[in-house]
Amino acid sequence: MKLLVLLILVLFVAVPLMFSFLTYAFFWYETANGPHHARLREISRGRIGRLLLKGIASSCAGAVLVILFYPLGHMQRFRTAAPDPECPFPPVILVHGLYHNSSAWILYRLWLHRAGFRNVFVLDYNSFRCSFHDILERLDRLARDLASRFEGKPIVMVGHSLGGLVCRAYSERCDEVSIGAVVTIGTPHHGSKLAVLGIGRLAQSLAYRGPLIAELEREPGRRAIPALAIYSPLDNMVLPNEALHPSGSHWESRECPPMSHVAMLFHSGSARVVIDHLMRACVER
């Protein structure tokens, strides 16, 4: 019994705390003498220390929720949805981030369904077995399948972290599938300096201004669609913070309330912004 209690404490207390303090130490090292420091001072009214503690708390809470929900990602019903041809809104594809699975979207699926988006599909992948381009190919297969099943309706995409980079690359370069809108949440549009500490080739490929990022920037998108990038001024995984801002005049960047990288998945206010963008894009078509 004592061993079980110890394991629970380690899993739900020690690991989230260690992860949060470590990543925010890197965040502060990167931010203290950079241009983002002025923004933190502005939104915290000079109380940056208190703001960082808020970020650490949100990171711990987010990590606990990830641990709790993660097993659900292996259940097929969390990855697929029964199609509803009568739904007036377009089908939605959700793409999770590095080391996560379809459980990342457990609350977003609920919020989207309540807003009327009843055809929600999750693209799942293994972060240790796939390259960036492998995930792009999987997204292409899913998008083409949905385009044939929901003929006449565009597809909208939402991606968190790495998933947003995949959605961006696909939506700007695919001419054969109609894409109505794309939203990225906490996405390293220019990579992240923390990627060098990641495990696996997929993580390493996200290096700040590395070869993958250079490839995406070198091949400008062939079309512009309604695109929104939501970012947090306290993102502890994408460093520097400026890397969260995509290139391209058709992109709108929107700052959400200060919170950690993972906490954005569980923030209803950010979800409302996402849903409003998708609805507005549908009306404007």
**Mean pLDDT, the chain cut into blocks of 10 residues (285 residues total):** 56 80 97 95 96 96 94 72 84 98 96 96 96 97 95 95 97 89 98 96 97 88 84 98 92 97 98 96 74
Q: How many structural domains is the chain composed of?
A: 2
- From 26, 52, 71, the end of a domain falls on 71
Can you give the residue range of the structural domain that contains 20? 2-71
Handedness of CA 68, 83, 92, 283 (dihedral sign): negative
- From 71, 93, 116, the end of a domain falls on 71
Q: Are 236 and 105 contained in the same domain? A: yes
This prediction's pTM:
0.94
For the chain, what is the radius of gyration of the CA atoms?
19
DSSP alpha helix (H) spans, the chain: 2-9, 15-31, 36-44, 48-69, 106-114, 132-149, 162-173, 201-204, 211-218, 268-284
241: left (phi over 0), alpha (psi -120 to 50) or beta: alpha
